[in-house]
Structure 1
Amino acid sequence: MAFELPAVDAASLATWCELHLGSPAENELFRTGHLTRVIGTRLADGREVVVRVRPAAPRITGCTEVQRLLFDSGYPCPRPLAGPAPLGEYEATAESHVAGGVVLPDSGRIAQPFAAALAQLVDLAPGPGRMPSLAPAPPWAAWNHSQGGLWPRPEDLDVDLNQVDGPGWIDAAGQAAWQKLREGQDQTVIGHGDWITDNLRWQGNQLLVAYDWDSLIADSEAVIAGLAAAIYLYPALATVTETREFLDAYATARGRPFSPGELQRCWAAGVWTRAFDAKQEHAAGQPVTVLTHDEAHERLRRAGMR
């Protein structure tokens, strides 16, 4: 079955907003989304809110609570307003609408602003033990999933990647990265698992707002930083040099360097997520663009696996 975003009609949205926000939705501002239906709307009382609709999942309760605490701490994120609560066969949350900003900071592709903003998020986030569970992580971050096989099932492609033949170098890269990540005994923290340009808006070199708080994960800081360092420019691709610069900037922002083992696991996390995306591209019959054989080799070398 092909993946489809939730269909939400105006009447259902208005009823949900009146029930959970005290005022019905009146004027739709935008409608978008990739894995979640995201609807910007102006309520009858004049407030502008964003309603996010997706299949129900227990982890969303934890994501929403972490987002609320980060907002209260002053971190630049939308304020959670309602939910999670049922909307038809799905589950919805509402948050404040933060408009404006641009996709890249004034410094462009330079890693420092991206890395510093993520390090601040991790520093301000509550400890995982204080929060409802954020498990399971989204597939592209779920290197330690419990579904069996190397690859977790994608959310937007109805296929078992473990049953898809080849390319062998992608599977080998993912396996090597997984082996390196298993070596870690690092403290678990909370961070953003989809730290990409689509989810960030900037004013100058300051982060105006970060979106997509459904993508929060609980993992080691090495994994969280490593994932981001490999994907932060998406849909553009971070080079090996840009990934290294991100990790250097993250370590500076958090005030202490990564240990040699942590740094290897940072690189391994980046390999794993890029290999997962590459495997998904191949399974969908698309050209593999997010990772090359040579780049996988170099990234694994930096992870201590070549």
Structure 2
Amino acid sequence: MLNSTEYCLSTTPKPYESASTPEGLTLEQYKVFTEERTAVEEKYEEAVGAHDMWKAAKAKEVRLEKLKADKEARVEKLKILQKEEEEQKAAEEKRKEEERQAAILKEQQDAVEKKKKDDLKKEKEEKEAAKRLRKEQRKVEKVVKAVESSKGKGTEKAAEAALIEEEKGADADTEEEMLEGTKKKALKKLKEIRDGKRRVTAPIGPKRKWAPKSTSVVEESDGESRPGPSKRVKMEILGPTEGEEEMIGNKRSSEKSIYGHTCSHCKTKKAACSFNKGTLSTLAVGSEEISELLEKTGTYG
């Protein structure tokens, strides 16, 4: 009878189908059959419950595995992101350091270049200053030499010739510089000569106690009068006349005038001093020579 009963003990979700009741059973057989079928159905329900529990556990396990895998994936992704961020940060720091080093190197190179340029400029200026100084020294030497060699042979004309020779031999960089320098020197000489004439020809006031001794034309060493249109007048000043006292103010002014014509460097007269270049020729050249020199400079322009 049990072989004729059909039931399912599988743990699969296959639905259970109860066996059909056979015909021709007695009451006792029917009771036995009903009890067996009830027991089978209970076993099936237990199997279905166990299967559901297994399925739930399996699903939970799968879910936990998935969560674990997702977490691990997130952790790995986070690690990758952190690594990329660190690499970017390191690259940025490296780039900044390279830029800083490049800026320092550029500053050093600029400083070296600036120092080279400054040195070259300074050297050039020193060379130009030395060149100008040599030219000025040559000018002064020429004038002094010409004046010394021409003593007793016409000092004014020799000084004038030395001045013209000096201007011609200067070999300025451009014609304009030569012209400007000549004009400035000529105007300066003319002004100094006019100032000197004013001091010599200044009227003597009633309180002045100095008396001129004599007025004479400056003569050459050989005793002959100096030829030429510009003859300088030599004024010899005597001390106070008889019965008159020397005034302190005039004494001080005369001392100042004498001290003003003395060089502060070598304590000699400015006319013979090498520091006052151009002064000797200035004192030697008259107003007419200066006019001629100005006319010549006008022709150069």
TM range (shorter): under 0.3
Q: Whose strand fraction is larger, Structure 1's or Structure 2's?
A: 1
Relative contact order: is structure 1 or structure 2 higher (C-alpha 8 Å, sep ≥ 6)?
Answer: 1
Structure richer in helix, relative to its length = 2
TM-score (norm 1): 0.18
